[in-house]
Amino acid sequence: MVFLILEGINCIDGLSEKEFILKAHVLTWSGDIPALSKCLNLSGHNAYKGCRFCHIQGVCHELNNHIYFPQVIVSELRTHEDTLDIMNKIDKEGCRQLKRDLIKKSGNINYYKQ
């Protein structure tokens, strides 16, 4: 898919019979929460930073070990730049334990370069 976005593929216009480069762009996608979490490189909805829209921090319940999110007004939304920044930090980290800590702290997983 990345190839189609960056470089495109050669196609022929059926009407004019001229060659052109077709590029694909993902406008939207849908799926259940686990599938979207994987597409967005997030740890998942059960993680401490499981929200794909903001930086809310989950709290682990003592009795059942489930992650809950307190009702607070969220002012800091995730941005594209935030996601790229943390993925670059995860990718460049050489120590496995520090990499795991970054993933756990941020809620982001770099599936493609681990």
The pLDDT assigned to 87 comes to 81
In a domain, 3, yes or no: no
The predicted-structure confidence for 14-32, as pLDDT tens digits, reads as follows 999 999 998 877 777 777 8
- Any domain includes 17: no
Domain membership flag for residue 80: yes
Report the SS3 class of residue 104. Answer: helix
Q: Which amino acid is at 87?
A: M
Q: What is the spatial distance between Cα 1 and Cα 39, in angstroms, rounded to a whole number?
A: 13
Question: So what's the pLDDT on residue 2?
Answer: 61
Q: What is the pLDDT of residue 15?
A: 92
Per-residue pLDDT tens over the stretch 47-60: 777 777 787 888 88
Overall number of domains in the chain:
1
93 or 106: which leads in pLDDT: 93
Is there a domain that residue 15 lies in? no
- Supply the range of the domain harboring residue 89: 32-106
In sequence order, what are the residues at sequence separation of 6 or more whose Cβ sits closer than 8 angstroms to the Cβ of residue 93? 99, 102
113, pLDDT greater than 50: no
Q: Is residue 21 part of a domain?
A: no
pLDDT at 47: 76
What does the pLDDT look like over 30-87, one tens digit per residue? 778 777 777 776 777 677 777 777 878 888 888 988 888 877 766 688 888 888 888 8
| Residue 53, domain member (yes or no) | yes
Considering the domain boundaries, does residue 94 fall inside one?
yes
Q: Is residue 69 part of a domain?
A: yes
